[in-house]
């Protein structure tokens, strides 16, 4: 599938809808230049291949594009052969550079194996210096930290004997710091000998050891895009479904026969398939097509069947064919969109976000690799004093934290995290080589939710993290989301606005904020009842979720008011996007419950951060713009 855009804003909207694999992007475009669009595309989808086009071939232009993430550069005038050459080269380069996560994990383990003998030799030499009183107290403390690091990392990398020995030596060394005059290295003689003996006997074993990969868990299958394949025997019904579904941000590709749809599936991967049943090919041709699709596709592609028939036999045949949903005509578009959204979300949950706080860089790198191999996103912090700003910016689903660290220990950091109301429920899992159960209990009393020993099987680590995050997300949704619409509630949207304002100021990036209010909503409640009014509010939330980018943040501000935060976006761009959404929403027909239907509009006010200093003033500015939109005729977007 190929999409075309005539300016930068349109390009971003199109990319948000189609999620393309390859983008050819002009450097100079109206409304927003190519470099800005390139940055946003790469931020939303780092794997997208972006080829920049320009009439200028200066090294400066090429260097700027490359620095911002461009995968190729073509100088105009263009030829089809040249475009294909650059695209093919970019694809090959991307495939050759991308290292499988399983291989990255193995490479990290191999690097650790190679460095371990020298590391052990250095520790043994330092202990001998301590015994000869050649080290001061500060150096002895540093040696203790190095032993602690070795004990922890050796457990993670599969050397339990080295871990155990290092831990015992560390304990004796800590005692020596308390009573230095009584220190006697001969007490460690046997342990040092065992540590030295481990170099030839234990280290090589890793080369042939088992790397407990976890890629087979495949926790997050990927949704391709918002494309819907539609085939219905009644053209009028198909056109009506197409018009209504597209108002919610989906793109429809319509077919007249099931065979055409099946053929297209060999080269495309839509978000879902909607099929009629009674085609000229046969009275149950749609059900037969569903069975064929289910056998052909192994990715659980959602299949929705629509028909006038509503008997048990037909429904049973549809279920046996593998259909996910069965709708009888006339179809309520709201219910259809509800099911489309649920089925799409089932295929593409947001990747879990894990913050790793570990002062040993090697151990942090391995844990990050193992967790990312399971489809999660990680951020590592090797200095615990840097954890709080990263916690705010990264917004993780779980914190995986070492217990013993040099600047402050894990229990201290967990206690600080729990002082913030925003983080009182985030799971904190301690991950340490500490074997003493009393210390485990103490860590849990300081704000931890679980305690794992570093020698745990990596697959078990991933499963435990998955279970914790899944439960946390369910509980968190009740705390931060509006019960009716599923959007962020009033408190949470204001909290997120504060976070985004701080990020915008730090990164010197634009930020827009919008207030949306339904026009004459009270009339809907008074005329049709609050149940219909609630249905309209849910429809607004669906439209906003489908039409906004993944990076935009949407909330229900209260009553019939909604709020949208647009990171890295100026007010003009946000206004144009919202105007498109406003126009689409006004075309939606809402069932009134009595066989009739009605349409509704909304007004919107937009403000930009550069004109204001804080959360309160920015909200006030957007509210004034909304008031202006209401007073100048409604059903429009105004900016302050």
Q: Cite the active site residues.
A: 560
3-class SS letters over 228-254: EEEECCCHHHHHHHHHHHHCCCCEEEE
- The torsion angles phi and psi of 50, rounded to 5 degrees, stand at -120, 120
CA–CA separation, 362 vs 153, rounded Å? Answer: 7
Look at residue 220 and give its three-state secondary structure: coil
CA–CA separation, 141 vs 170, rounded Å? Answer: 10
CA–CA separation, 568 vs 511, rounded Å? Answer: 5
Cβ atoms of 153 and 195 within 8 Å: the answer is no
Cβ atoms of 340 and 311 within 8 Å: the answer is no
Give CA angle at 99 (15, 453), nearest 5°. Answer: 105
CA–CA separation, 139 vs 129, rounded Å? Answer: 10
Cα-Cα-Cα-Cα dihedral sign, residues 228, 233, 235, 237: negative
CA–CA separation, 474 vs 318, rounded Å? Answer: 32
CA atoms in the 13 A half-sphere facing the CB of 303? 30
Cβ atoms of 380 and 392 within 8 Å: the answer is no
CA–CA separation, 618 vs 71, rounded Å? Answer: 38
**DSSP per residue over 157-203, as a string?**
HT-HHHHHHHHHHHHHHHHHHHSGGG--GGGGHHHHHHHHHHHHHTG
- Max distance between CA atoms of the chain, in angstroms, equals 97
- The torsion angles phi and psi of 506, rounded to 5 degrees, stand at -65, -45
- The H or E element that residue 471 is part of is helix 458-480
Please report the beta strands in 256-393, taking only residues with DSSP state E, as ranges in sequence order.
272-276, 303-307, 325-328, 353-357, 377-381
**CA-based radius of gyration for the chain:** 30
| Residue with tokens 């959602």, as numbered in its chain | 302
**CA 343 distance to own-chain centroid:** 18
Look at residue 341 and give its three-state secondary structure: helix
**Residue 502 Cα distances to 439, 495, 497, 510, 555, angstroms:** 38, 11, 9, 11, 19
CA–CA separation, 37 vs 568, rounded Å? Answer: 11
């Amino acid at each position: 599938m190929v999409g075309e855009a005539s300016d930068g804003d349109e390009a971003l909207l199109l990319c948000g809808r189609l999620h393309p694999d390859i983008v050819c992007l002009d450097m100079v475009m109206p409304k927003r230049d190519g470099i800005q669009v390139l940055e946003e595309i790469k931020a939303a989808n780092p794997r997208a291949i972006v080829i920049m086009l320009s009439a200028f071939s200066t090294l400066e232009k090429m260097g700027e594009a490359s620095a911002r993430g461009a995968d190729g550069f073509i100088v105009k005038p263009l030829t089809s052969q040249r475009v294909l050459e650059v695209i093919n080269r970019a694809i090959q380069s991307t495939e050759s550079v991308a290292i499988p996560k399983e291989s990255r994990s193995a490479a990290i383990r191999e690097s650790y194996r190679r460095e371990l003998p020298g590391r052990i030799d250095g520790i043994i030499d330092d202990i001998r210096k301590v015994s000869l009183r050649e080290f001061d107290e500060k150096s002895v403390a540093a040696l203790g930290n190095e032993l602690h690091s070795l004990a922890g990392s050796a457990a993670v990398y599969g050397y339990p004997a080295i871990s155990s020995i290092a831990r015992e030596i560390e304990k004796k060394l800590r005692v020596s710091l308390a009573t230095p005059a009584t220190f006697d290295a001969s007490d460690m003689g046997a342990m040092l000998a065992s540590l030295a003996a481990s170099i030839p006997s234990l280290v090589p074993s890793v080369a042939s050891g088992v790397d407990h990969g976890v890629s087979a868990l495949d926790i997050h299958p990927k949704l391709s895009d918002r494309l819907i394949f539609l085939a219905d025997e009644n053209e009028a019904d198909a056109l009506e479904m197409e018009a209504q579904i597209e108002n919610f941000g989906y793109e429809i590709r319509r077919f007249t026969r099931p065979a055409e749809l099946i053929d297209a599936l060999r080269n495309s991967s839509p978000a879902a398939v909607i099929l009629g049943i009674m085609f000229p090919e046969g009275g149950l041709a749609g059900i037969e097509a569903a069975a064929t699709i289910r056998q052909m596709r192994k990715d659980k592609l959602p299949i929705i069947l629509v028909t006038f028939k509503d008997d048990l036999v037909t429904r049973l045949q549809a279920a046996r064919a593998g259909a996910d949903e069965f709708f009888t005509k006339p179809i309520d578009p709201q219910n259809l969109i509800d099911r489309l959204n649920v089925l799409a979300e089932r295929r593409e949950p947001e990747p879990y976000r894990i913050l790793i706080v570990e002062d040993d860089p090697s151990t942090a790198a391995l844990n990050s690799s193992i967790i990312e191999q399971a489809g999660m996103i990680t951020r590592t912090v090797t200095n615990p004093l840097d954890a709080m700003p990263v916690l705010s910016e990264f917004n993780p689903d779980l914190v995986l934290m070492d217990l013993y660290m040099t600047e402050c220990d894990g229990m201290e950091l967990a206690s600080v995290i729990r002082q913030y109301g925003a983080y009182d429920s985030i799971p904190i899992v301690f991950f340490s080589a500490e074997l003493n159960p009393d210390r485990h209990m103490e860590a849990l009393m300081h704000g931890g939710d679980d305690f794992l020993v570093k020698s745990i099987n990596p697959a078990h680590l991933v499963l435990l993290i998955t279970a914790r995050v899944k439960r946390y997300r369910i509980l968190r949704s009740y705390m931060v989301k509006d019960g009716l619409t599923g959007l962020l509630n009033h408190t949470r949207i204001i909290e997120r606005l504060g976070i985004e304002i701080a990020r915008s100021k730090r990164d010197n990036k634009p930020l827009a904020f919008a207030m949306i209010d339904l026009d004459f909503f009270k009339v809907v409640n008074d005329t049709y009842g609050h149940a219909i009014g609630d249905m309209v509010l849910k429809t607004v939330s669906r439209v906003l979720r489908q039409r906004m980018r993944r990076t935009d943040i949407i909330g229900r501000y209260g009553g019939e008011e909604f709020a949208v935060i647009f990171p890295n976006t100026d007010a003009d761009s946000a206004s144009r996007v919202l105007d498109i959404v406003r126009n689409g929403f006004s075309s939606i027909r809402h069932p009134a419950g009595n066989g009739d239907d009605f349409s509704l509009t909304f007004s919107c006010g937009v403000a930009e951060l550069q004109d204001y200093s804080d959360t309160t003033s920015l909200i006030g500015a957007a509210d004034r713009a909304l008031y202006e939109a209401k007073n100048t005729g409604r059903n429009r977007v105004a900016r302050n």
